[in-house]
Copies of this chain bind each other. A is one copy, B any other.
């Protein structure tokens, strides 16, 4: 059984802790957070603390705090011969300043406190500085998900960057869609099945092949009509993405 301590009280820490407490391959020996209030709900399941000097002995220490707090927290982990990992997509493994061995356990998913998470399908990207640690981390990752990948720090940054496009930027386009609906007294729910289908379609088809719409088919008449209906900001985005689709399919207007 792998003994872990989880450090953090945010969404990733919350869902990871909740999952690992039920995971028979793992024993969560302790949860740490600077503010004890945020981890009170784990009190009946494991030890909790807000004092780094009281950290218990474990095989793996999982730092699951905000990206910009990882380095500072890692500095304060002064024990040796353990494995200290973080869970971030954008922080390189070697940015960890703990004196123990280093690694990364990055779940490629967006977490919100309200929404339940099925970890078994979440891709887990792992990295470690020694073979032995990688094996240990792999055992942990495989106990969490059937979708486990060896990914180095450079690749992980690329995944994080790609995730900005397919998650953050996609959500912003959903927002613009909802703006257009609001401005014209249309319930946004009308677009929900289309949004779900757009996401589902690319499981069977690569996005390059799934592309449809006026930009793809060079329908300049519709494109010009659309532009005239938009606010300046929406129009700028419409124009640039249309141009980019033209470039992608080797066609110029």
Contact = CB atoms under 8 A, between A and B. Distances in A.
Nearest to A111: B197
Contacts of A236: 240, 244
A115 B204 contact: yes
Contacts of A244: 172, 176, 233, 236-237
Contact of A191 (B154, B162, B190): B162
Interface stretch (A20-28, A50-58, A76-84, A209-217): A209-217
Contacts of A211: 168, 171-172, 175
Given A122-B193, A125-B190, A240-B240, A158 B180 contact: yes
- Interface range on chain A (Cβ under 8 Å from partner): 35 or more
A114 interface: yes
A198 B241 contact: no
Given A155-B185, A175-B208, 16 more contacts: A110-B194, A110-B212, A112-B205, A122-B193, A123-B190, A125-B190, A161-B230, A165-B180, A166-B177, A169-B238, A170-B199, A171-B210, A174-B207, A177-B207, A196-B200, A240-B240
Interface of A: 67-68, 90, 108-110, 112, 114-115, 121-123, 125, 147, 149, 151, 154-155, 157-159, 161-178, 180-181, 183-208, 210-216, 219, 222, 225-226, 229-230, 233, 236-238, 240-241, 244-245, 247-248
